[in-house]
Amino acid sequence: MDRLDDTLGTVAPLLKRVDEVLAWAGAPADHDVWPALRQVRLLTWDSAQAVAALRPADLADAAPELRQDARSYAGVAESLPAPGGWAGTAADAYDRARKHAAAHLSGGPDSLDERLEATADLADALTDWMRSTRDGLAATLAEVLTSAEALSLSETPTDPPTVREVEAAAEVAARVLRVVAGSYDTAEELMTGSAALTTPARL
């Protein structure tokens, strides 16, 4: 449990009301909520649930395990025996194969241990991103809970909603969705920066 888990149950009625109002009446045409809605493609409550589904603890152990595997590959590369007193064509062929295998396992920019290290770095970055995203959304939800807009929306609802309710719902949605949209941008940057990991290693 963290701050977001603690806040989500309390804020749920507000966010659901925000979505009801927006679904019924829309938002002012020039409101900041529209760009955020187009980017996130989720309403307020669904976007909050999507962030709440991020579980950084589930990924936190991955990086140490990947780095341990990288060290193992490096150890195997170092342990491949040289021909020693063995000489001749067969010995030369073996030594070339040994060096090729060692380079594939460790040391080069595209070696298996380097790719594992890069994957571990990505796992760490994604873990930090998930924690930061959860913390950022929790802080924003805590702010909107005590806002004037939340007070407007907590009053006896009217159908159709009043202009005041529509404006309040759009403002709450914009504040929440901007946080989620910002986290999307950060995640996209992380994945773009690690695109090389999707390319098969050269043997």
Query: Mean pLDDT across the stretch 155-160?
Result: 79
Q: Is the pLDDT of residue 125 over 80?
A: yes
Give the integer Cα–Cα distance in Å for 121 and 118. Answer: 5
In which region does residue 41 sit, left (phi positive, over 0), alpha (psi from -120 to 50) or beta (all else)? left
Per-residue model confidence as pLDDT tens digits over 15-39:
999 999 999 999 999 999 999 999 9
Virtual torsion, Cα 144, 148, 153, 156, nearest 10 deg: 140
Q: Is the pLDDT of residue 70 over 60?
A: yes
The pair of three-digit structure tokens given for residue 113, joined into one six-digit string:
């241990």
Per-residue model confidence as pLDDT tens digits over 143-156:
999 999 999 998 87
Query: Mean pLDDT across the stretch 170-187?
Result: 96
Ranked by mean pLDDT, the top range of 34-48, 105-119, 157-171 is 34-48
Q: Is the pLDDT of residue 194 over 90?
A: no
Q: Is the pLDDT of residue 88 over 90?
A: no
Q: Is the pLDDT of residue 203 over 70?
A: no
Give the integer Cα–Cα distance in Å for 133 and 50. Answer: 11
pTM: predicted TM-score of the whole model, two decimal places: 0.82
Sequence-ordered strand ranges (E) for 4-156 = none
Instruction: State the pLDDT confidence band at 94, using cuts at 50, 70 and 90.
Output: confident
Q: Taking a C-beta distance cutoff of 8 angstroms, is the pair 201, 137 a contact? A: no
Q: Taking a C-beta distance cutoff of 8 angstroms, is the pair 83, 137 a contact? A: no
Instruction: State the pLDDT confidence band at 200, using cuts at 50, 70 and 90.
Output: low
The one-character DSSP state at 162 is: P
